[in-house]
Amino acid sequence: MNKSELIDNIAEKSGLNKTQAGDALNALIESVGEALENDDSISLVGFGTFSVKDRKARTGRNPKTGDPLEIPASKVPSFKAGKNLKDRLNK
């Protein structure tokens, strides 16, 4: 499912028109991004938790030459599925 299909689905299930559904989805995406930028986490009970994890600096290899190179530390987004979502996938 791509973004436009998701907007259509949201519009159908919520009774909003497609423009309103698109605005709601864009607001959700923006809100999640802002929260993660601020090292905050978002918990949606039954669905899951969005959070930021720290990735340590490490030594990698250039796949073309095989030379070692330093990969700097970074922050990565993370999602942990909630119980209801896991149960829904495994029924």
Give residue 40's pLDDT: 95
Query: Whole-angstrom Cα distance, residue 51 to residue 45?
Result: 14
Superfamily assignment of 41-91 in CATH? Answer: IHF-like DNA-binding proteins (4.10.520.10)
Q: How far apart are CA 45 and CA 30, in angstroms?
A: 20
Which token pair is 28?
């959700």
Q: Where are the domains of the chain?
A: 1-39, 41-91
Percent of the chain whose pLDDT exceeds 90: 99
Q: What is the mean pLDDT of residues 62-79?
A: 95
Quick check: 35 and 78 in contact, CB under 8 A? Answer: no
Query: Residues 43-65: pLDDT tens digits?
Result: 999 999 999 999 999 999 999 99
Name residue 46's amino acid. Answer: G
Q: How far is CA 47 from CA 34, 43, 62, 85, 89, in A?
A: 19, 8, 38, 5, 12
| pTM confidence score | 0.79
